[in-house]
Chains A and B, each alone.
Chain A
C-alpha cells in the first residue's frame, strides 16, 4: 500500500497565523504531518509520496527519509493547476495494492475505543470537506478507482473504526482541535514515557519556579521557562521553547513554538504565535511590534545557521590544514604496520538516508607509538573533516548513527546532526540517545565550541587507551 500526502495547497488562515507551513502547525506540540505519517504507518503503508508546495524545505527537513515511521518517502512537487485527484489517477500503477490519501488540513481524531489495529478492518472510504477530497482509502485498484471518480462508498468510513474525520477548515477549527486534545484526548496519541494521569504533560528541560501555578489539564513542550507567579492552565497548550514572564496568566489558549509572552499579561481564548496574537473565533490577527509584550524568542534560524555554518566550516578548514601533513606522514606507517585501517561502514545520513563513512579500526592488539599519535591528534577523524568541508557533516553534533545498530535511536530523534566530534569523545559512558536528544535541544555555537575543545583535549590525553 502507498500513501499520498498532499501539502501543496496554501491555506490563508494558516499563513496569517504562522510562518510555518500548515502541515507543520502543531497539534498539541506535534506537527499535523506527524499524525498523518503515524496514521499511514498504522494503516500499513510502506511508501509515502509527499506532494510539496509552499514551505517545501521545512516539510522535507521534518520528514527526512521517513525512517522514524518506518516508511520510504519520495517527494514530488505539485504541478501548476493540476487537480490532486488527477495526479492520483496518473500514478495508478503505484496504488494497485491500495492507497491512503490525505488531501488537506485534516485530522484523524481518535475516539476512546480506537486501536491502531482497527485499520485492518477499514473499508474503502472517502471524506470530503467543501467539495475537496481530504481523505481517501482503498485496499486495491478496484476500490480506489471508483473513489477517484467521485463514487461515495457505503458505510461510515473512518467512523467505523472509531476515528472522527476532522477537517481543519479555519483558525477556530484548529484552536478547537487543540483545546479538545488538551482537555481529554491527547493521551490517545502519546507513546510510552508520557504521563497523562491528571491530563497534563510537561516536556524536557522545562523549568517552573515554585510560585508558578500549573492547573491541569495542560500541555507544555520542551525547553520552556516560566517566570514567578505565572498561572498556566487549565486548558493551555504551550509549545516548545516558550518563555512566559512573571505574573502572566495563560488559560484556554494555544502558544506556538518559540514565543515570548511578556510580563503581567492575560492570554485567554487566544492563539499566540511569535509576535502574532490571533482570536480563533473569527481569525483576527494582530502583529505586535512591542517585543516586551509578545515576540518571537528565537532569532531567525537561517541567520543563526549561516553564522554557525560559516564559522565552524572555517574552523574545520583550519583543523584539516593542520592535520594534513601529520596524516600524510603517519597514515603510511599505520598501513605498513597493519595495526589499524579505515573500513567503510554504513551510517544514517540526514539527507541521503544512508552513507558509507571510513571508520578507523584497530586490527592488532599491541602498543604502537604511531597509532597513539594518530589517535591523539584525531587524525582518525580526518576523512570526516573533509566531509564537513563538503557540507556532508557537522564539525560538532550528535554521534553519527550506525546502520543497523542505531536504527532504534534514530527513530527517537526529532533532529539529526551527525558531527565529527560529540559528547562521547570526552565522556565515554554517555548514553547515545540521551546525549543526542540533549544536543538537539541546546544546539548552539557555544555548545559546539565546548564539544570541540573538550573532545580534542580528551582524545589527545587518552590516546592509546581506546
Chain B
C-alpha cells in the first residue's frame, strides 16, 4: 500500500494505490496520519481512489474514521475517482450518503470553493 499525499492550495490530496482492504488499512492509516501530523494546517482532504480497484468493509470503515477525524478538526473530506467495484460497495452499504463523491479530483477541489 502506497499513499501519495500532496497539497493543492489548502487542500490535501491523498492518492491511494491498490485495494483498500483489511490487509492494507493499517498501512494507509499510518501513512496518512504521519502526513497529517506534518501538515497541520491542512483541514480539507480529497481522497483520490483512481487506483483502488477493490474495497471491503475494513477499507470503508477506515474512510469513515478519517472523515470523522477530519470533521472533528473542522475540515471536510471528499472522494474522487471512485471506480466501479468500490462504488458498488459504497452503494450497497449506503456509504454514498455519508461521503461527497466526485468524478475527478478537480471537481472535488472545486467542491471546497
Contacts and interface: CB of A to CB of B under 8 A. Distances in A.
Nearest to A282: B84
Given A265-B92, A266-B92, A293 B57 contact: yes
Interface string B62-93: 00000000000000000000001100110111
B93 A265 contact: yes
B26 interface: no
Contact of B89 (A268, A286, A292): A286
B56 A289 contact: yes
B85 A286 contact: yes
A277 B92 CA distance: 9
A279 interface: yes
Most buried by B among A279, A282, A288, A292: A288
A172 to B, nearest CB: 15
A293 B88 contact: no
Contacts of B92: 265-267, 270, 277, 293-294
Given A264-B94, A266-B94, A288 B84 contact: no
Contacts of B84: 279, 282, 284
Contact of B56 (A264, A270, A288): A288
Contacts of A198: none
A284 B94 contact: no
A293 B56 CA distance: 10
A279 B89 CA distance: 11
A270 B94 CA distance: 14
Contacts of B91: 266, 268, 270
Interface in B42-63: 54, 56-58
A265 B89 CA distance: 10
Nearest to B54: A286
Interface string A136-148: 0000000000000
Most buried by B among A264, A265, A286: A286
Interface residues of B, number: 12
Contacts of A289: 56
A contact residues, range: 10 to 19
Contacts of B57: 288, 290, 292-293
Contacts of A290: 56-58
A286 B55 CA distance: 10
A268 B94 CA distance: 11
A373 B23 CA distance: 66
B88 A265 contact: no
A288 B89 contact: yes
Contacts of A277: 88, 92
B59 to A, nearest CB: 10
A229 to B, nearest CB: 14
Contacts of A292: 57
A466 B54 CA distance: 65
Contacts of A282: 84
B56 A279 contact: no
A13 B84 CA distance: 17
B93 A284 contact: no
A279 B94 contact: no
A286 B88 contact: yes
B56 A265 contact: no
Interface in A260-279: 264-268, 270, 277, 279
B93 A279 contact: no
A268 B54 CA distance: 20
A149 to B, nearest CB: 45
Contacts of A279: 84, 88
A270 B90 CA distance: 13
Contacts of A264: 93-94
A293 B54 contact: no
Contacts of A267: 92
A284 B85 contact: yes
Nearest to B58: A290
Contacts of A293: 57, 92-93
Contacts of B85: 284, 286
Given A284-B85, A286-B89, A265 B54 contact: no
A293 B60 CA distance: 12
A290 B92 CA distance: 13
A264 to B, nearest CB: 7
Interface of A: 264-268, 270, 277, 279, 282, 284, 286, 288-290, 292-294
Interface of B: 54, 56-58, 84-85, 88-89, 91-94
14 contacts: A264-B93, A266-B92, A268-B91, A270-B92, A279-B88, A284-B84, A284-B85, A286-B88, A286-B89, A288-B57, A290-B56, A290-B57, A290-B58, A292-B57
Given A266-B94, A284-B85, 8 more contacts: A264-B94, A266-B93, A288-B56, A288-B89, A289-B56, A290-B57, A290-B58, A293-B57
4 closest A-B pairs (Cβ-Cβ)? A290-B57, A286-B85, A266-B94, A265-B92
